[in-house]
Homo-oligomer: A and B are copies of this chain.
Amino acid sequence: MTLNPALDLELTRLVAASPAQIWRCWTEPELLKQWWAPKPVETVEATLDLRPGGRFATVMQLGAQTFPTEGIFLDLIPRQRLIFTDALHEGWRPAPEPFFTAILTIAPEGDRTRYTARAMHRSPEDRARHEDMGFHGGWGTALSQLEALAITL
């Protein structure tokens, strides 16, 4: 799957945790809740039905405001790749407000792990909107939180 610079955003970094540790942080709700939102935002709910078509939903909270997200997993290769989207909801129904598909890949590289998160959009406008929402900062901060948690597992 080739990156399309007009439609995609990508964050890639070498992290100290192993693929198995990173996979646990992504797939266990109680771990996901600890790193998924860049602090001071908190993830207060996480539903992960880990199969193609299974629901992936979270609720984030900042002060009195809550931010629900809703989508499904599309493809899962344990400790290697995870794909999910908000363009479809549970039961494969088209979502009212589709925004992006995310492809997470993790692979050993030397004594560390290459972590790459790609967000694919419908249009250059949506890509720009995601960038303006703080994709690099937000996903980057969350990744640092993930790494700090993962190495303790």
Contact = CB atoms under 8 A, between A and B. Distances in A.
A5 to B, nearest CB: 14
**Interface range, A side:** 20 to 34
Nearest to A96: B122
Interface string A84-107: 010110011111101111010000
**Integer count of this chain's copies in the complex:** 2
A27 to B, nearest CB: 19
Given A74-B88, A94-B99, 20 more contacts: A1-B91, A1-B92, A7-B93, A52-B74, A52-B75, A75-B92, A87-B88, A87-B94, A87-B95, A87-B98, A88-B101, A91-B120, A92-B120, A93-B101, A93-B120, A94-B101, A94-B121, A94-B122, A94-B126, A98-B98
